[in-house]
Structure 1
Amino acid sequence: MSEFQAIPPGKLAAVVTHFDMRDLPPVDAAGLERPDLHLEFVADPDLDWYRDLFRAVGARWLWFSRLRMTDEALGAIIKDPAVEIYALTRQGETTPKGLLELDFRDPKNAELAFLGVTADMIGSGAGRYLMARAMERFRAVKPPRVFVHTCTNDHPDAPKFYERAGFRACGREVEIMTDPRLDGTLPRDVAPHVPLI
Structure 2
Amino acid sequence: MIVPDHTQPLASGYHAVAPGDLACVVTALEMRAPPEGLRRLVPEPEVPLQLVRWKAAAPAKYRMLYARVGSPWIWWSRLAKSDEELTAIIHDPQVQVFAVADRAGVEVGMLELDFRVAGECEIAFFGLVKGATGKGLGKWLMRRALQLAWASGVERVWVHTCTLDGPQALPFYMGQGFVPFARYVEIFPDPRLAGVLPEDSAPQQPVLRPVPVA
Residue of structure 1 equivalent to 2:19: 9
TM-score if structure 1 supplies the norm length?
0.94
Q: Residue 148 of structure 2 is aligned with which of 131, 137, 140?
A: 137
TM-score if structure 2 supplies the norm length?
0.86
Listed as ranges, the gaps of 5+ residues in structure 2 are 1-10, 209-214
CA contact (8 A) 1:82 1:105 kept: yes
Listed as ranges, the gaps of 5+ residues in structure 1 are none
CA contact (8 A) 1:99 1:116 kept: yes
Q: How many residues align?
A: 196
Query: Residue by residue, what CA displacement relative to the aligned partner does 1:30-60 show, whole Å, maximum 9, x if unpaired?
Result: 6965441111111111110000000000000
Residue of structure 2 equivalent to 1:22: 32
Query: Residue by residue, what CA displacement relative to the aligned partner does 1:42-86 show, whole Å, maximum 9, x if unpaired?
Result: 111111000000000000000000000111111111000110001
Alignment of 1:2-151 (within 5 A): 2-25=12-35, 26-27=37-38, 33-91=45-103, 93-151=104-162
Q: CA deviation at 1:142?
A: 4.5
Residue of structure 1 equivalent to 2:164: 153
- Over aligned residue pairs, what C-alpha RMSD do you find? 1.7
Residue of structure 1 equivalent to 2:206: 195
Higher gyration radius (CA): 2
Work out the CA distance in 1 between the residues paired with 2:147 and 2:44: 9
Distance 1:99 1:22, change over 3 A: same
CA contact (8 A) 1:20 1:168 kept: yes
